[in-house]
Chains A and B, each alone.
Chain A
Amino acid sequence: MADSVFKGNAITIGDDVSTDDIIPGRFAHLRSNLPELATHTLEDRLPGFYERAQPGDILVGGRNFGLGSSREHAPVVIRMAGISAILVRSVARIFYRNAINQGLAVLICDTSGITDGDELEIRLNDGIVVNHRAGEELSCGRMPPLMSNILAAGGLIPYIKEHGTLDSGT
């Protein structure tokens, strides 16, 4: 079961982070070697990201996060880098599905007031993000039941194994 509370420091990144930003095509030959591929996560867009990310950190983006390819390696390597959840203003739909299916939470909220290094706490069940530095609470809404159930199971494959079918969540 996945956690419903995430605490970590913010790593901020701007708008329109594409799947090519997350994994540049030149590393595609590493796609069967996920641990090594993960070391190149966001390398061009946020140099040093992999080294800097600590377990539990929260990646904070702007608009249209994850646009582009359907390659599921994108959320996988972000999670492997230690990121516990992603907070964005808006997210590209294929990335969103892939992240949830891989058990990585993506929440939508107004991220404009979050600065790099802020200490954040996401309370999934309350639909709230607490910014301890700013002393602010942001609403990120509650996830639709199907998605929060998939996330709680740790991803789509464990969810289907648990439920036998997709039906019970719809």
Chain B
Amino acid sequence: MATITEKILAAHSGRAFVSPGDFANVSVDMVLANDITGPLAIREFRKLGVTRVFNPARVVMVPDHFIPNKDIPSAIQAQDIREFAREQGIVYFEAGRSGIEHVLLPEEGLVGPGHVVIGADSHTCTYGALGAFATGMGSTDIAAAMATGDIWMKVPPTIKLVFHGSLQPWTSGKDLILHAIGDIGIDGALYSAMEFHGEAIQFMDMDGRFTMANMAIEAGAKAGVFEVDATTEEYLATHPQRAGTAPCRRYFTDSNADYSRIIEYDASTIEPVVAFPHLPSNVRPASTAGDVVIDQVVIGSCTNGRLSDLRIAAQILRGRSVHESLRCIIIPGSQRVYRQAVDEGLVHVFLDAGAVVSTPTCGPCLGGYMGILAPGERCLSTTNRNFVGRMGSPQSEVYLSSPAVAAATAIAGRISPPGNTYGESREEISW
């Protein structure tokens, strides 16, 4: 009679069971911060008067937002977390051996099923794709958890989202999650855990699931959770857990669990979509976007910077050119993704098409650097937020989509659904 979320939180608070609304003191398995939130967390940690983190194998800092260093303040922040990492012996990834945190941690076997993961980054919810309970918090919570290994939580109710049927050729996890956010709104899952089920999910690869869990926060959710299945197990077998991490445990929702809400979709009817400015919930099918001229396309981020994302983009860009009035910036999510994209020839495809290919960074997604928008410019991006001024000028616009729509748009110079433009089917090409 419990959901995955309730079972994980009960197990981590020494209780037989917990119910939505309960406050629990939860032990954490992995604590994460980055170059923006880490320095503040370190400062708060020092205030506590504690000298050592609770467990150096379970605290990780990833420089990714302004890395390689954008400017002197960024360099100082990177230095802060680097020095703290050396002092404490915690897990740390230097530029060149790193990546965007939420792409990196699963690859490196730092998070796994049944873990409680907290990170000073709102997209920490990504790890729910592996059957973890993972949620974003602020720097002070992270400081407290680094010191004590514990955190207080209010147990969230769980919303079940069921995606029936099989996906259309160009429809991806990104389209499903944007469709759902468009349906329930940006606070439609406020304080709740979203649990994803259905045939379309069963046949989805891990990269698609990471994308969906990643954007649970865009509906206000505390976590986005998937059940562990054969696809998860295959991923875990090829990305073994690092020494010193907590043991993994698979939890499954009981058949009679109490969901606060059950939402069902016929996934076979969901087309590739675009979220228009200035909210991720402002979603409509890409085929009905109208004539929206785009100045910049970004393919990457913790949402869509994984190998499958780059493969889809390359499939569409192969032998074609980025539209002359547009720049296309492609950012592999990690060094490992980058290396594989080189090995598979994807980077050649991007360079031949006239795209920028960057080292891994969060850069443009948060308006940091590497693709800032001028007043009046429009960007279509595979990232996760399109708030006013998110990627630069408050007079710029951000549209959100999947890598397939982004690649098709990069070629067309205006928002374009991939299927309509090229008439090709994804099944024809195997990787």
Contact = CB atoms under 8 A, between A and B. Distances in A.
A93 B191 contact: yes
A64 to B, nearest CB: 4
B267 to A, nearest CB: 26
A94 interface: yes
Nearest to B77: A32
A156 B49 CA distance: 14
Q: Which 3 A-B residue pairs are closest in the complex by CB-CB distance?
A: A25-B367, A98-B138, A72-B138
Contact of A160 (B66, B77, B148, B279): B148
Contacts of B141: 97-98, 101, 156
B140 A71 contact: no
A20 B387 contact: yes
Interface string A139-170: 00000101000000001110011000111011
A31 to B, nearest CB: 7
B40 interface: yes
Contact of A21 (B124, B220, B387): B387
A28 B394 contact: no
B121 to A, nearest CB: 6
Given A70-B120, A155-B140, A44 B152 contact: no
Interface of A: 16, 18, 20-21, 24-26, 28-33, 44-45, 63-64, 67-73, 90, 92-94, 97-98, 101-102, 144, 146, 155-157, 160-161, 165-167, 169-170
B144 A157 contact: yes
B187 A90 contact: yes
Interface stretch (B68-76, B86-94, B162-170, B351-359): B68-76
B150 interface: yes
B222 interface: yes
A21 B368 CA distance: 15
B203 interface: no
Contacts, number: 144
Contact of B220 (A29, A32, A92, A102): A92
Contact of A146 (B23, B44, B122, B191): B23
B151 A166 contact: yes
B307 to A, nearest CB: 26
Given A32-B76, A64-B190, A69 B25 contact: no
Contact of B74 (A29, A90, A102): A29
Given A32-B73, A32-B76, A161 B137 contact: no
A144 B23 contact: yes
A19 to B, nearest CB: 8
